[in-house]
Amino acid sequence: MINQEFVDKFRHYHKYGTWWDDLNPLTKFVVCFMVALTPIYALTWWYGLGVCVIVSIVAMTSKFRKNFFSLAVKVFLIITILLVVLRQIGHRATSITPLINIFGWQWYVETLFNSLNRASFIVGFSVTMILFFTTTPMRDITYQLEQMGVSHEASYVMLSSMQNIIDLKATAVTIFDSQKARGIETTGNAIKRAKAFFPTLAPLMIGAMQGTEEKTIALDARAFSVKRNHSFLRKLRPVQGYEWAMMAVAVIFNIAMIFVSFKILKQLPVTRFF
């Protein structure tokens, strides 16, 4: 017996059930990219932090929020800590206000704010673009590219490349689990890990080649190379009117930040350590 609910879902535009996830990939990209550029213009730690907070709030409404936070938190901590430490080591010429002394290593207030300002635009840009790529499946991106005129060959190469990385990772985990089940040591120091890693390369490469052959046969069976418009089993909702408005607001906000950053923000006391 046919599951009518399963059949009906292919007769309508695909939806994830949340307002951010259901936006068209083009809308999400334009909004994220325009917002991601603004910390570069501001170059102040409080603005970059504000962007990260707003982006995190948006991500909490997404079904893919776990993927976002697992990556965004790592990027935020690594970049911020690395730049703060490096600037305290190598950029102290204009530092005069002591902050803290760590076993004879003197930290300065000016250097701290300078490093935070530098980190703000890197973190702000990175976290905002992470929001787009972690909440937008690659198949949705390639579908939208085809709708915009990109050839199906190019979109398939993009999708296949990303999917191969995921498949290879899953295959490698399976091989490691198999080795562990056979009593082979796969954990420990770097030498033990290297000994366990290199034997996995042969089956990993063979599996990748077999997968490529299977995909080639499947594409040929589906008439992938036919020079005509292709049909799609799963379709995304086109860009709606309010989405065009969101993109317009994002572009206008980006342009406004260019003027504000050069005329106003540099004059504020909070940016005196720039």
Residues forming a β-bridge with 236: 14
Q: Out of 36-40, 117-121, 233-237, which region has the weakest mean confidence (pLDDT)? A: 233-237
Q: Are the C-beta atoms of residues 100 and 59 closer than 8 Å to each other?
A: no
- The rounded distance, in Å, linking the Cα atoms of 23 and 56 is 17
Task: Report the share of the chain in percent with pLDDT over 90.
Answer: 28
Residue 154 pLDDT exceeds 50: yes
Q: pLDDT band at residue 169, thresholds of 50, 70 and 90?
A: confident
Q: Tell which phi-psi region holds residue 3, choosing left (phi > 0), alpha (psi between -120 and 50) or beta.
A: beta
| pLDDT recorded at residue 1 | 54
Across residues 29-55, what is the average pLDDT? 90
Residues forming a β-bridge with 101: 106
Residues forming a β-bridge with 105: 102
| pLDDT recorded at residue 274 | 38
| pLDDT recorded at residue 196 | 67
- The rounded distance, in Å, linking the Cα atoms of 26 and 238 is 9
- The rounded distance, in Å, linking the Cα atoms of 105 and 101 is 5
| pLDDT recorded at residue 43 | 75
Q: pLDDT band at residue 272, thresholds of 50, 70 and 90?
A: very low
Amino acid in position 269: P
Q: Are the C-beta atoms of residues 63 and 16 closer than 8 Å to each other?
A: yes
- The rounded distance, in Å, linking the Cα atoms of 99 and 83 is 17
CA 138 vs CA 133, 160, 163: distances in Å = 8, 10, 9
Q: How many residues are recorded in the chain? A: 274
Q: pLDDT band at residue 16, thresholds of 50, 70 and 90?
A: confident
| pLDDT recorded at residue 88 | 76
Higher pLDDT, 61 or 103: 61
Residue 251 pLDDT exceeds 90: yes
SS3 100: strand
| pLDDT recorded at residue 185 | 64
| pLDDT recorded at residue 189 | 66
Residue 266 pLDDT exceeds 60: no
Domain boundaries, the chain: 16-136+239-271, 143-221
Higher pLDDT, 93 or 208: 208
Q: Out of 49-58, 98-107, 178-187, 242-251, which region has the weakest mean confidence (pLDDT)? A: 178-187
